[in-house]
Amino acid sequence: MTVRQDIHNSDIPVLCQACEARHHGVCGALDPNKLVALAKTSSRRQVDAGTELIGDAEAIHSYANVLSGVVKLTKTLSDGRQQIVGLQFAPDFFGRPFRAESAINAEAATRVSLCSFPKAALERIMKESPGLQGRLLGQTLKDLDAAREWMVTLGRKTAAEKIASFLLLIARNIDRVSDPNMRTAAFDLPLTRNDIADFLGLTIETVSRQLTKLRADGVIRIENNRHVVVVDISRLEARAGS
């Protein structure tokens, strides 16, 4: 990708010029001055799948934009039962404003690249840029909508419908099938069977059986356990129980 060199971009920190978050993420609310200030304290990094980003009941030191990969947010009961309560895809923002402690655990589900900045820096800039607070509210509302949507899936859908809903969620976020005339999709699953089970409130065996059933029915193909080809998206939607 070539970086545009016109006069406007010259004010934008190099780090941010090609960043998706600058257009659709929280950084889009910032003028060049603020962006420079934030970029000074921010740092990009790549982490492997399985890296813990925010520990449950740990102090929160930083916020981050997800630039690529998938971050899973989990909660765990005292006896070890686990539930994934959210997935963050690029260019989502994550972190917990206005709270010293996090009630959830954030972990890289895949290899993830992040742009993170210290809590203090973001909160200072937030005071000066009301637009940033609005973006943050927007992100939070989006997360809330997603959480409530998933509550329906968890509380009222069958195992078969849960799996179909999950595959659609991934297809829409990884393969970006918002286009309704797109008939097919293909992607690598960002989650293991164990993660999928923890996301859907099922066991790994049930997840496996339902995937096998979708494959046997010709709705999907699975290659190497992780790569999924959705043969016909509308057939998958029909099984997701809208």
Partner DNA sequence: CGGGGTATTGAGTTCGTTCAAACAAAGTGG
Partner DNA sequence: CCACTTTGTTTGAACGAACTCAATACCCCG
| Neighbouring residues of 222: CB distance < 8 A, sequence distance ≥ 6 | 211, 215, 228, 229
Q: Which of 18, 59, 152, 182 binds a second copy (CB under 8 A)?
A: 152
Nearest approach in angstroms of CB 154 to a second copy is: 4
Q: Based on the shown chain and the rule CB under 7 A, indicate whether residue 203 belongs to the binding site for DNA.
A: yes
Q: Please tell me whether residue 155 binds a second copy under the rule CB under 8 A.
A: yes
Q: DSSP 3-state assignment of 62?
A: strand
143: partner contacted, choices DNA, a second copy, none (Cβ within 5-8 A by kind)? a second copy
Which range binds a second copy by CB under 8 A, 42-50, 69-77, 175-183, 218-226? 69-77
Q: Looking at beta carbons only, is 145 or 223 nearer to a second copy? A: 145
Alpha helix positions (H), the chain: 14-17, 21-24, 32-41, 119-128, 130-156, 159-174, 193-200, 204-216, 233-238
| Residue 139 touches DNA, criterion: CB under 7 A | no
* 68 lines the binding site for DNA (CB under 7 A): no
- DSSP string covering 77-129: -TTS-EEEEEEEETT-EES-TT-SB-SSEEEESS-EEEEEEEHHHHHHHHHH-
Site mask for DNA (CB under 7 A), range 94-133, x = bound: ----------------------------------------
Which residue's CB is nearer to DNA, number 43 or number 158?
Answer: 158
Does residue 102 come out as left (phi exceeding 0), alpha (psi in the -120 to 50 range) or beta? beta
Q: Which of 206, 204, 165, 201 is nearest to 84 (CA)?
A: 201
The residue within the footprint of a second copy, chosen from 18, 31, 134, 226 (CB under 8 A), is 134
**Residues lying near DNA in the complex (CB under 7 A):** 158-160, 192-194, 201-209, 211-212, 222, 224-226
